[in-house]
Amino acid sequence: MSLTLARLRGPNSEGLLVAVIVVIVVAMSFASPAFFTASTFFALVRSSMVPLIFALGVLLVLISGGIDVSFLAIGIFAAYASVKWAIDGSADQGPLMVFAIAMAVGALLGLLNGVVIARFRLPTLIVTLGTQSIFKGALIAYVGSVYISAARLPASVNELSRAHVVDVRGGGYLHFMIVPVAIVAVLVALLLRRTVFGRSIYAIGGDTEAARRVGIRVVRTQILLYVLVGALAAFGGVLHVILGRNANPQSLVGTELDIIAAVVLGGASIFGGRGSVLGTVLGVVLVQLINNNLVLLGIPSTWQRAAVGMLLLLGVGVQAIAAGRARRRTVAVEQPVEPKEVLA
């Protein structure tokens, strides 16, 4: 009985998240007939796409035992720079080129993070705080500070922002970009589960010294990880530009903690070694569900932030209490003292 329950719950409480989402969906459906429609669903998907891409990057860093707060600065830096260069350039090279340039820029900025973190073994939170400040400052001081409106975006990018996969007449549409977003999510999941690199990230996050001793090249893996996260953040940045139909260098930065909250809600451990793509998807969807639809339950929209905070506290509180119980159960064999908690 408890075994099936445990299986339903999933390794990172994914089952619990599904249950919470179902409860909210049912409650909202009862509260408002307007909720259970295709357009609500499409709107939910649309608003989840950008946070999801960023969240996947955060997930990778959290699993490796770090915390990144520079990913949004990288995202907007790369996206704005590549869009600006595309406008300044003579010919419209198409959106693929914009993505490619942005991801190269993102990877480069990520490399900087990775080298400082891995080479000098500095706390990731502090380093990325510093680079966040540098990236945002450099973007506005040296690349550009002007808001680029839809009218000035490259034509091909504008075209892409109007592309739909499914178009329900009078019932909204499913944006084309969901296809690459889904592919990226699946790729990250495969990377984490099926590749040596992915397993190494878990190993480093679980116990760096042990990982080193079984022969994992910690420095190289960490640098590669931050390069990858930088490219992922750049992808998210371009996606943000496409969906928002504008490139604003002042946007994005400042909401890092919201994304991290969604990932933590999705069951990833802040101490590293634990987390899944499925959980992250659910965490992001849950937050967006609340943000988009709280009004339907008759709760004013000003409650959104408080509600997400409440939910986050509830989620981590339940986890902490469960962990405390598990610890007490093992008291007989182990020292009755928890290990010192570390802020990475």
Partner 1 sequence: MSQQMRGLRDINDRAGAAWAAALERVHVARGVGRMALLLVLTFIFFAILRPGIFLNPVNLTNIGIAAPEIGLLSLAVMISMLTGGIDLSVVAMANGAAITVSSLYTAVLTSQGQAAAEQMTPLFLLAGLGVGLLLGAVNGLLISVVGITPILATLGTMQLYNGLALVWTGGVTISGAPTGLRTMGRTAVLGVPLLLLILVAAAAALAVMINRTPAGRKVQLQGANPVAARYSGISPRRTLMMTYITSGLLASLAGLLFLSRNPSASADYGSSYVLLVIVIVVLGGTNPMGGFATVLGVVLATLTLQVVSSGFTALRLSAYEYAIAQGSILIGVMVLDHVKFRRRPPRPAPPVPHEAVPTPVEH
* Contact window for partner 1 (CB under 8 A) among 83-91, 92-100, 233-241, 313-321: 313-321
CA dist 150 → 161, 222, 247, 287 (Å): 10, 38, 8, 28
Token pair belonging to 43: 């709107």
Binding residues among 238-277 for partner 1 as defined by CB under 8 A: 254, 257-258, 260-261, 264, 270-271
Residue type, 269: S
d(C-alpha 191, C-alpha 184), whole Å: 10
Q: Which two tokens stand for residue 239?
A: 């996606």
Shortest Cβ 245–partner 1 spacing (Å)? 25
Q: How far is the CB of 170 from partner 1 (least distance, A)?
A: 32
Among 182, 218, 243, 295, binds partner 1 (CB under 8 A): 218
Residues contacting 308, CB < 8 A, separation 6+: 258, 261, 287, 290, 291
Q: By C-beta, is 176 or 271 nearer to partner 1?
A: 271
182 is a site residue for partner 1 (CB under 8 A): no
| Chosen residue from 131, 246, 280, 293 binding partner 1 by CB under 8 A | 131
* Window of 42-50, 135-143, 183-191, 289-297 that interacts with partner 1 by CB under 8 A: 135-143
- Rounded Cα distance, 297 and 102, in Å: 40
Smaller CB separation from partner 1, 85 or 271 = 271
Q: What is d(CA 33, CA 36) in angstroms, rounded to the nearest whole number?
A: 6
- Is residue 302 near partner 1 by the rule CB under 8 A? yes
The encoded tokens of residue 12 equal 């990172």
Q: Binding of partner 1 at residue 120 (CB under 8 A)?
A: yes
Q: Which is nearer to partner 1, 33 or 300 (CB)?
A: 300
Q: How far is the CB of 196 from partner 1 (least distance, A)?
A: 19
- In the set 96, 137, 163, 194, which binds partner 1 (CB under 8 A)? 137
Counting contacts by CB under 8 A, is residue 278 touching partner 1? no
Confirm or reject binding of residue 133 to partner 1 (CB under 8 A): yes
Minimum distance, C-beta of residue 52 to partner 1, in the bound complex (Å): 19
Both structure tokens of 140: 């506005």
What are the φ/ψ torsions at residue 91 (nearest 5 degrees)?
A: -110, 150
| Minimum distance from residue 23 beta carbon to partner 1 (Å) | 20
How many chain residues bind partner 1 (CB under 8 A)? 62
Is residue 57 within 8 Å of 109, Cβ to Cβ?
no
What CA–CA distance (Å, rounded) separates 45 from 50? 10
Cβ closest to partner 1, residue 161 vs residue 276: 276
DSSP 164: E
Cβ 113 vs Cβ 230: under 8 Å: yes
The amino acid present at 214, given as its one-letter code, is V
What's the min distance (Å) between Cβ of 126 and partner 1? 6
Q: Distance between terminal CA atoms of the chain?
A: 38
Rounded (to 5) percent helix, strand, coil in the chain: 70, 5, 25
**Which token pair is 224?**
């590669």
For residues 233 and 63, what is the distance between their CA atoms, to the nearest angstrom? 16
User: Least distance to partner 1 from the beta carbon of 281, Å?
Assistant: 20
Binding site for partner 1 (CB under 8 A): 65-67, 69, 116, 120-127, 129-134, 136-141, 145, 204, 208-209, 218, 254, 257-258, 260-261, 264, 270-271, 300, 302-310, 312-313, 316-317, 320-321, 323-324, 337, 340-344
